[in-house]
Structure 1
């Protein structure tokens, strides 16, 4: 794995690249798993292998590293306290400029201000059910208001949190039928949801699944199934296995396959 960041324009042309594989608190990264850009253009990255969150300016210059647990050599190590991370896996920037980080191993969400100062945390609750496992949170997205949703991949479940960081709803179940989820890997808020539903409807999120179903699915943030889109017509491959997904403000959907990750798929949904 290269552990680098590549920046492209909307035409797919490479503009800049930065970062290198290695331990440390500056530009070095080991298995970066998530990226987000705030309103000032700062680039926030979950550096899962270094158990840290790295922040860069638009040119790739290191601004700060969030990790409260550092060893004698100045390297981030896993921890469980405030501001410590154990496999930070995804993050988002809220409409209040808060940085919300999902930790896979600590099974929690931590919240920081824009300067990296710890504010609060909340644990990921387990959905009730005798056949369910402990949560495995891997992604996060806004809900269109001031709350957010966390993806629990092992339980094929999404947890809806309020703006006060309280879990208010669970939805999702394992299965290959429409409205169910198979190896769900990523979620993204869909800004153009009013183009699909009426203006008084609920906002929409899109899910990506790495199973053999070869699809993306649309749900309201309350868990109501909207539609499923077969990805087969958009590729020569029989199965894309989307590992990540991003919905842009203009309604485009960028899909990153598990294999052949240099290819991005852009869809327009009406």
Structure 2
């Protein structure tokens, strides 16, 4: 995942350096909320502009839709709204794969949604953590350009699309199928909590803040504190300072 973060960081940096070129482009090449910064790279400013561009791509899809949705469970209203669209696209022969984080396995609305779209023919898997939000629709990709996700980058440059699709496929290969049959929370915990806590321990050693860790794992900060308390108890650490020392001394991430 570090390669993707580095690559996207370089992409954003290059785009910023080339921003002055956008002013020389004809007005017809970019809308009022768009900024063309290089071949196949376009900034979308504002949620409305982002939504419009994604919907246009989905309306023209012919082959596949790949989505990576971090931050844990999706709002139930969003999931319900997506069901009919997914049904139509699958019926039209579109391949669809979605990555969520492990924490979505505890959310009833998400489980119901996954059960339904899987019956349609979509595929859903989960990971403990992965890259930021990513949508690939045939030969166009969308990635977030700021932390608030109010600015996105639309990409059609084939080399970058190939890189992003390959990154998604590698994450997909490591992910676990989402259980769409009734599953008790305790069973879900047995399957995914060890991986979640392993990631938490690694991120603690790497110096990430609690807020950043919670966001990357897709849980609340309160839930994060519960996981950290369990890790401390297992390792016999009396406080966070000692926990950091024990994790660093072991030079490995914690495995339950």
TM-score, normalized by length of structure 2? 0.25
More strand, by proportion:
1
TM-score, normalized by length of structure 1? 0.24
